[in-house]
Amino acid sequence: MAHDSTAHQHESSTKRIWQVFGILSVVTIVEVILGIFRPPFLTETSIVGMHLLNWIFIILTLYKAYYIAWAFMHMEHETKGLRRAVVWSGVFLAIYLIFILLTEGDYIYEVYKNGYIAWDF
């Protein structure tokens, strides 16, 4: 019975695996190169409170995460229901948590900087 459920995957998908490995490697190499040289025009431009370089890093990370989940973890072969139950729940809660914690952290930073606390000792 278990055999039946995997019957449609009998053909080997090694080609796809190596292709994804190539993508992940190239993206990692790009990240490392950017991380070492930190091009000034990327660290000087700021979008929504963060350097353009940091946005690039985050987007590349999500790009890698997508390939790991979809290709290596076979999310692309799962049903739509399973995919949404896992991905949407996780992404929604993560965004919510990141939003409140970073907002609060930034607020405390402002208090330290402009409030009545001197930290010069």
Partner 1 sequence: MTSSMDATVVRTGTEGKTWGGGNQPLGASYGKLMMWFFILSDALTFTGFLSAYGFSRFKFMDSWPIADEVFNHFPFLHGVDAPMYYVALMTFILIFSSVTMVLAVDAGHQMKQGKVTTYMFLTIIGGLIFLGSQAWEWSNFISGEYGALKTKGGKILQFVDGEGHRVALEDIAVMHESERATHESNKGLWFESESTVSEFTLESIKEGFAANDDLYIRTLDFNEEGEKTVLSRAESQNWLDNNAVGVVEGANLTENEYGPPLFADFFFFITGFHGFHVASGVVINIIIFFNVILGTYERRGSYEMVEKVGLYWHFVDLVWVFVFTFFYLV
Helix (H, G, I), strand (E, B) or coil at 51: strand
Half-sphere exposure of 90 (CA within 13 A, CB side): 8
CB of residue 22 to partner 1, shortest distance in Å: 10
| 10 versus 47: smaller Cβ distance to partner 1 | 10
Binds partner 1 by CB under 8 A, chosen from 26, 105, 114, 116 = 105
CA dihedral 113, 114, 120, 121 (to 10 degrees): -90
* Sequence-separated (6 or more) residues with CB below 8 Å from residue 39: 53
Residues 8-67 that bind partner 1 (CB under 8 A): 9-10, 12-14, 17-18, 21, 24-25, 28-29, 31-32, 34-36, 43, 54, 57-58, 60-61, 64-65
Decide if residue 79 touches partner 1 (CB under 8 A).
yes
User: Can you say whether the dihedral through the CA atoms of 118, 101, 47, 42 is positive or negative?
Assistant: positive
Decide: 4 and 51 in contact? Cβ < 8 Å. no
Q: Which residues sit at the interface with partner 1, rule CB under 8 A?
A: 2-3, 5-6, 9-10, 12-14, 17-18, 21, 24-25, 28-29, 31-32, 34-36, 43, 54, 57-58, 60-61, 64-65, 68-69, 71-74, 78-79, 81-82, 85-86, 89-90, 93-94, 97-98, 101-102, 104-106, 108-109, 112-113, 119-121
